[in-house]
Amino acid sequence: MKHLLLTTALAAVLAACGGSDGAAQSQAQAPAEGGQPWETRPANAPSQTPAFPGQTRAPEVSADVAFEVETVAEGLNKPWAIAFLPDGRMLVTEKPGRLRIVTAQGALSEPVSGLPEVDARDQGGLLDVALDPDFATNNLVYWSYAEPRGNGTNATAVARGELVETGDAPRVENVQVIFQQQPAMDSTKHFGSRLVFDGQGHLYVTLGERSILAGRAQAQQMDSALGKIVRINHDGSIPQDNPFVGQAGVRPEIFAAGVRNVQSAALHPETGKLWEIEHGARGGDELNIIEAGENYGWPTIAYGLEYSGQPIGEGLTAKEGLEQPAYYWDPVIGPSGMAFYQGDLFPAWQGSLFVGALRDKHLVRLTLDGERVTGEDRLLVDLGERIREVEVGPDGAIYVATDSEQGKILKLVPQAN
């Protein structure tokens, strides 16, 4: 969404960021567009004004879909990400540093050997996983992780390796670290990070700004990869059509700037644009539609407040030259994991955007009209567990991973008649 030239709004974000096994859930029909919003809790920053109608608190809109929740796998230690193999099995990362293969029947492999060391403290660990678009011929797997850099410092890194399943246990071979966020920081927070291939030979990597003040300021510094979305080639080299290639003092991998901690990202199935959702502080989780070379404002502009209750910076929510979010939440949902639904199992959900909620412990469904959010629905509200990952499986079911030391892979399927 191109930035709007708006009158600056002044203001005085707590991200952590339902249904039982086999239980059917039916979503009652909600008011049509223009009705009451799902979100009725007081905003953390009630004096802040949205930049345009519908930017927050969209009407509650249900598709009246009845579904069941099935448990696919259990006993995973803080599962963070899911990637489906061509045969329907899943690669699942566990935050402490393990990668496993999970069958459709829920059997867990031994941990995949050969991965590099991770810094699993706090918000670190083994994070996203993705298959190379040519996996069928090269068996390459990519993963992001908190990489220890010495003297207590760390940063997000991306590695790739060839998945080999011969012998007693799976392993990765010919491992290469293809990207290292610079600079490293002494922090255990805000690593990002999601991996998204764009279908044109490029890989997007979303990167946090490490939370601490020394890192936060670098979200607006173009010689730093903190608080950025970067775009690299499959081998880690820099695409020559990246927006800042050749500019002095700017890291050439940067595709967009001014983001906080992006743990949700997906490619729009029709436009091919990267959509991301990032954690706010006390309020201000925001959905951004990423354009090459644009600046999404953090921390110069932001919705919500500091965790302390004080304004973020100067309390600005808009400034010329900085992009507005397409949508934001105050209070926060704690976004992590998102997927556009294009499957056949749920025709009424076609075109919806599903988002996991860590803090609110449910699954958010957004209805869309182009790049505009027109409705919001919340599913799995009785689950009682933080949702870390959301994926659509090759069978058209919606898969979610729960964030606990006894984490599960669950899937939503149509209710049996």
Instruction: Provide the pLDDT for residue 398.
Output: 98
Query: Is residue 279 domain-resident?
Result: yes
Q: Determine if residue 299 is left, alpha or beta; phi over 0 gives left, psi from -120 to 50 gives alpha, anything else beta.
A: alpha
Query: Is residue 9 domain-resident?
Result: no
- Here the tokens at position 56 are 């927050």
- Here the tokens at position 127 are 């994070």
Which residues, listed in sequence order, are joined to residue 131 by a DSSP beta bridge?
Answer: 141
Confidence of residue 180 (pLDDT cuts 50, 70, 90): very high
In degrees and rounded to multiples of 5, residue 228 shows phi and psi of -130, 160
- Residue 347 is given by DSSP the state G
Instruction: Provide the pLDDT for residue 34.
Output: 59
Query: Is residue 208 domain-resident?
Result: yes
Q: What value does the mean pLDDT take over residues 100-122?
A: 96
Confidence of residue 35 (pLDDT cuts 50, 70, 90): confident
d(CA 119, CA 129): 16
Query: Is residue 350 domain-resident?
Result: yes
d(CA 245, CA 242): 6
* 190 in catalytic set: yes
Which one-letter amino acid corresponds to residue 296? Y
Confidence of residue 168 (pLDDT cuts 50, 70, 90): confident
Query: Is residue 96 domain-resident?
Result: yes
- Here the tokens at position 65 are 């879909």
Give the tens place of pLDDT for each residue, 344-401. Answer: 999 999 999 999 999 999 999 999 999 999 999 999 999 999 999 999 999 999 999 9
Residue 11 has pLDDT above 70, yes or no: no
Question: Residue 147 is inside which H or E element, if any?
Answer: strand 140-150
Instruction: Provide the pLDDT for residue 416.
Output: 87
Please state, as a whole number, how many other Cβ atoms lie within 10 Å of the Cβ of residue 262. Answer: 31
Residue 283: give the domain boundaries: 24-414
Residue 278 has pLDDT above 50, yes or no: yes
Give the tens place of pLDDT for each residue, 17-29. Answer: 333 333 333 333 3
Q: What value does the mean pLDDT take over residues 95-121?
A: 96
Query: Is residue 235 domain-resident?
Result: yes
Give the tens place of pLDDT for each residue, 120-140. Answer: 999 999 999 999 999 999 999
Single pTM value for the model? 0.91
Q: What value does the mean pLDDT take over residues 269-279?
A: 97
Q: Which residue has the tokens 């399927």?
A: 413
The CATH number assigned to the domain holding 51 equals 2.120.10.30
Q: Who's near 379: CB < 8 A, 6+ residues apart?
A: 18, 25, 27, 67, 362, 363, 364, 365, 412
Cβ proximity of 375 and 60 under 8 Å: yes
Q: What value does the mean pLDDT take over residues 36-43?
A: 93
Q: Which of 254, 258, 250 is nearest to 208 (CA)?
A: 258
Residue 201 has pLDDT above 70, yes or no: yes
For 12-21, 92-101, 226-235, 326-335, which range has the lowest pLDDT when averaged over its residues?
12-21
Q: What percent of the chain has pLDDT over 90?
A: 89
Please state, rounded to an integer, the average pLDDT across all residues of the chain. Answer: 92
Instruction: Provide the pLDDT for residue 204.
Output: 98
Give the tens place of pLDDT for each residue, 288-297. Answer: 999 999 999 9
Query: Is residue 1 domain-resident?
Result: no
Instruction: Provide the pLDDT for residue 48.
Output: 97
Q: What value does the mean pLDDT take over residues 170-179?
A: 98
Residue 154 has pLDDT above 90, yes or no: yes
Instruction: Provide the pLDDT for residue 73.
Output: 97
d(CA 43, CA 54): 15
Q: What value does the mean pLDDT take over residues 270-287?
A: 97
**Set 3, 190, 279, 362: catalytic member:** 190
Count of domains observed in the chain: 1
Instruction: Provide the pLDDT for residue 406.
Output: 95
Instruction: Provide the pLDDT for residue 365.
Output: 98
d(CA 91, CA 282): 33
